[in-house]
Each structure stands twice: as C-alpha cells, then as structure tokens.
A = this chain, B = another copy of it.
Amino acid sequence: MSQMQNVERQLREMILALEIGPGERLTERWIEGRFGASRTPVRAALLRLETEGLVGRDGRGWTVSPINLAELEQIAVYREAVEIAALRLTCGQADKSAIDVIEAMLDSCDENTPREEWHRVGMDFHIELARLSGNEFLFRAVRDAMTRLSRARWLEVRDETALGRAWREHRAILAATRLGQADEAARLLSAHIVGSRDRLVTSLANDRRGLRARGFAVVAA
C-alpha cells in the first residue's frame, strides 16, 4: 500500500480514536515525522481528511476539528433524510437475505466484546444498512455522516443502558425492513436517530467540562 493511503488511514484512526484531541493544532512537519513520510503524502492525507470534516484550516495551519454540538444536531437531520430514503429503497427489494448478515453483526457483540467493537459495529450497522439500498450516493452520505459522528459516539458507548437500547432499536428496524414495512421501518429509524442524537447531545453537554479538561475543544450548539 502506498504511503499516501497509509498516512491518511493512520492519521484518521488517531483522530477518530481521540489520540489527537479535537481542536488540537497539527503541523505538516509533525505528521511527517510521526509517520515517517514526506510532505507530499502528508498533504494529500490532510486534503482528504479535510473533505471528511476531520481536520480544518485554521488561518494558515491545520486543526483537528472540534466536536461541535450544533453540527451533531444538523447531522441528525441529515441522517434522517438519507438513511430513511435508503431504508425505503431496501424495503422495496425482493431479496431480503442480506439483512441476515447485518443481524449477525449485531449478534457478534456480547458482554465480553470490547467497547471499541461495540463502537464500530454501532456505526457499521447504519453504513451497511444503507449499502443495501444499492444507491451509491445515499450510502456514501451515511458513511460520511457516521464518520463525523464517530468521535462523539465514544461517549454513548460508555453507557451500558444506551447500548442495550440502541441494539434493541437496531433489531426492530431490521425486523420491519425484513417484512418490507417501509413506513414502520422509517418511523423506527427516525425515532432511533432522534433519540440517539438527544442522548449524545445531553452526554456531551454534561461531559463538556471533563472533555475540555482533557484538552478537547467542544463547541456549543
């Protein structure tokens, strides 16, 4: 694999895992040294991550995007639009066997599963569900939205109760989809997204002081 893709992948992982804090300054030279690459692949990676919303320009330099509560609320609205559209397409399809694969993803998580895995599967559920629609644009929209939500969702994943609730809602959405009940599935998905947003925004507002103490920039709604 090329250096370019390596730097991009590794830097993205560090940002998403909060190993580089939201709001933190980035210099091309630091990344260069950190990953043993030259500036050419570093710049390519930064340009990519900029379009993903993970880093942004701060005057002349680069900054890891802060966690932005207003953005989280806007993303929820965006998700409702694209995820429901994708789900309705999927409900209309004859072959529902692919849904079993997604259900199996959910089943793979139990009390012994590490948090990172719950976090990943919780995102992949929505991404893979959108992929089933067969619409590349809806799929990418969902994937990109989940990427932007990823860092904030580390909070949700700390809460056992919230996880159990999310998984129940996921299963209910799959059940309705399997039966082709588009309206019901859409209603459940909408409620899931809105509820998820509410829990996230509440958690973030509560933890804001703690996060700032860790040096994380959290922008209010």
Q: Interface on A for B, CB 8 Å cutoff?
A: 40, 43-44, 47-48, 51, 71, 74-75, 77-78, 80-82, 84-85, 89, 135-138, 141, 145
Contacts and interface: CB of A to CB of B under 8 A. Distances in A.
Main SS class of interface, A: helix
A136 B74 contact: yes
Counting from the closest, the 9 A-B pairs by CB-CB distance are A81-B85, A78-B137, A51-B51, A47-B47, A81-B81, A74-B135, A74-B137, A81-B82, A77-B135
25 contacts: A40-B40, A40-B43, A43-B44, A44-B47, A47-B48, A48-B51, A51-B51, A71-B136, A74-B135, A74-B136, A74-B137, A77-B85, A77-B89, A77-B135, A77-B137, A77-B138, A78-B82, A78-B135, A78-B138, A78-B141, A81-B81, A81-B84, A81-B85, A82-B141, A141-B141
A135 B70 CA distance: 10
Which of A75, A78, A82 has most B Cβ within 10 Å?
Answer: A78
Copies in the complex: 2
Contacts of A135: 74, 77-78
A82 B74 CA distance: 13
A168 B135 CA distance: 30
A141 B138 CA distance: 10
Contacts of A48: 47, 51
A141 B136 CA distance: 13
A81 B44 contact: no
